[in-house]
Amino acid sequence: MINYKYYKDGVKLSKKDIVIMILSAIIGSTIMLVAIDNIYGFLIGTLIITVLNFFVLLNKERDEEYNKL
């Protein structure tokens, strides 16, 4: 399910990538739950999840481009 069709063809997530994505979800969710009364805490938690997942996929894209050279 993690290596799904939403990603570019040939992009396979390693166990390390999956662990980082899961940890980002746990950290971001924890921040959102701890700061449930504060909208900024909710937004920061969401931002952490989004940014870390973005960087995992960006590194995959860079690795793929590097391997083509």
How far apart CA 28 and CA 11 sit, in angstroms, is 25
- Beta-strand runs (E) in the chain: none
Q: Which helix (H) or strand (E) holds 24?
A: helix 15-34
Q: 């980082």: which residue's tokens?
A: 20
Which two three-digit tokens encode residue 25?
């979800």
Question: How much of the chain is in helix, strand and coil states, percent to nearest 5?
Answer: 70, 0, 30
Please list the rounded mean pLDDT of every run of 10 residues in the chain (69 residues): 60 85 95 92 94 90 71
Query: pTM of the entire structure?
Result: 0.77
pLDDT at 12 (0 to 100): 75
